[in-house]
Amino acid sequence: LLSQFDPDNTGYISTEKFRSLLQRHGSELDPHKLEVLLALADSNSEGRICYQDFVNLMSNKRSNSFRQAILQGNRRLCSKALLEETGLSLPQRLIRHVAYETLPREIDRKWYYDSYTCCPPPWFMITITIVAFFLYNGVVLDRFVLQVTHPLYLKNALLYHPQLRAQAWRYLTYIFMHAGIEHLGLNVVLQLLVGVPLEMVHGAARISFVYVAGVVAGSLAVSVADMTAPVVGSSGGVYALVSAHLANIVMNWSGMKCQFKLLRMAVALICTVWLRFHPSPSPPCPHPSFMAHLGGVMVGITLGVIILRNYEQRLQDQTLWWIFLSIYVIFVMFAIFWNIFAYSLLDLKLPPPP
């Protein structure tokens, strides 16, 4: 194909030859993909198209140069908006809904709608919700997560406790325990309603990275700023996803077509404040720490928002990605050294170990 349309081996295809190729094989393509290809041809002012961009496009990969080629110039998407299409099946309507919930540009929504195959499914968020919260705590520990008044509630190897901070796994496994039905219910609802659509669009690797980074930042923030507090709950990871999604909505306010934008932001703020000042459950259950929420939020609006803003682009090409990643690594290293030395130097009175 390259030798046919690029005999001089320049790496480019002329717009005329590109259009003739589309006319010949356009019926074989998804309608939205054909529309994107035509927009690529219309937006190019030099009369040629990079062959590698064309190959990436056909293989469902898009680079920065491709995105710039699409966004530059006065391109026109002639067909109706995806939201106006009728006669769709229930799965198709679900995919369309997810596209409008998470993506700010119509061209991205159409591309995602045509490309999404549900293979693999959003397994990470579903697994971490069902297995971690219910199966593990109910079967392995032989006491369900809601039994917070049980005298053995804190006597497990999962939650974070300042006296046991040398057991490094606790900085992550504390997400498997929750402080009552309200705490568990809110995290599960947010995790499924926000996390699953985000994973459907951005993939398990990116979303799991944001989630785990928020979890670790939450426990480390508590160990630095609220040194005597034990920690339970997955709020660090949940709020990393929620804050990244809300920040993405704010930064792309005019393009985002998700419903009730102001309402969902208000609800998220109310939930954060409520969890901070809600009366603690019966002892010995620890109160959910506000610092864990704050650590997750900071991860969401730094690392998370970069991931969500750059749909199908390589993160390592983004300068901000490296800046925020460096800040996160520096914070983690600082918190590690703080945990090693600060507790003994400050001579704090810590609560007894469970």
Separation between Cα atoms, residue 182 and residue 150, nearest integer Å: 17
- Answer positive or negative: Cα dihedral of 246, 242, 160, 352: positive
Please indicate whether residue 287 is annotated as part of the active site.
no
User: Long-range contacts of range 347-350, CB-CB < 8 Å, 24 or more positions apart?
Assistant: 348/227, 348/228, 349/228, 350/162, 350/163, 350/227, 350/228
> Helix H segments across the chain?
2-5, 15-25, 31-43, 51-58, 64-71, 90-102, 106-115, 123-130, 170-173, 181-190, 196-202, 204-225, 235-251, 261-277, 290-299, 305-309, 319-346
> What residue has token string 């102001």?
262
The single-letter code of the amino acid at 124 is F
Separation between Cα atoms, residue 293 and residue 215, nearest integer Å: 9
Widest CA span of the chain, in angstroms? 78
Annotated catalytic residue: which of 219, 223, 235, 243? 235
**Which residues does 198 contact at the CB level (< 8 Å), separation at least 6?**
102, 207, 241, 244, 245, 308
Please indicate whether residue 235 is annotated as part of the active site.
yes
**Which residues does 181 contact at the CB level (< 8 Å), separation at least 6?**
146
Residues labelled catalytic = 235, 293
